[in-house]
Structure 1
């Protein structure tokens, strides 16, 4: 299972969300579970809740995804870097042919987007 945290999910994890904590634990404890934090979303989450970036980056179960050239080109067509980088990270790749699921506390933001969503709202 491949899960990409959007900025709202990262903020929720920093605030002690039980559901976000379970995702992090599962990625740490269970083989086949992978958790990703796109760098642009990580910056936005840290602006919302300072300290979030350092906290998530220190977790061994979370892989921070750098912004590469393909990602940068994908961002150019969108209004928010955080959402664009998250969508790009969730897209299918050779390593993840089915793409990844986006974890969020704001599922409405993803309506009409080509991503699958896990709602972290309690």
Structure 2
């Protein structure tokens, strides 16, 4: 059993980080300094964040603690079944995998958008 923390940033969390959100900044810092903390930025959410706040994609992608997740076949199929690319890719990235049987937590600055979804969230809006 590992105490690793896996966190997927949604587009709202990425935008918040660009605006200096303290909780987002702390999360990114901890992922940079703690060996068992992992942050992921789904490519579709990264695009949406950059549309909201230009420059966000370059900022997030440049952070050494953040792994950008490409839109592979499994993610593309998940996105194809949904109406919003950013949310669908984020939800897919947080789903359990053989490497992460418990899945990942979604960090968001817009927790209401995940209401009723089968995901765990980390609220960055406070």
Shift of 1:77: 1.1
The residue number in structure 1 matching 2:94 is 90
- Which one of 62, 79, 84 corresponds to residue 80 of structure 1? 84
Counterpart Cα distance in 2 of 1:109 and 1:55: 24
**Of 9, 13, 31, the match for 2:13:** 9
How many equivalent residue pairs? Answer: 122
**1:115 maps to which of 113, 119, 124:** 119
1:51 to 27, 51, 55: 55
TM-score, normalised to structure 2, is 0.95
Report the secondary structure of 1:26's partner residue.
helix
1:61 maps to 65
d(CA) in 1 for partners of 2:17 and 2:29? Answer: 11
TM-score by length of 1: 0.99
RMSD, aligned CA: 0.5
Flag as ranges the 4+ runs of structure 1 deviating above 6 A: none
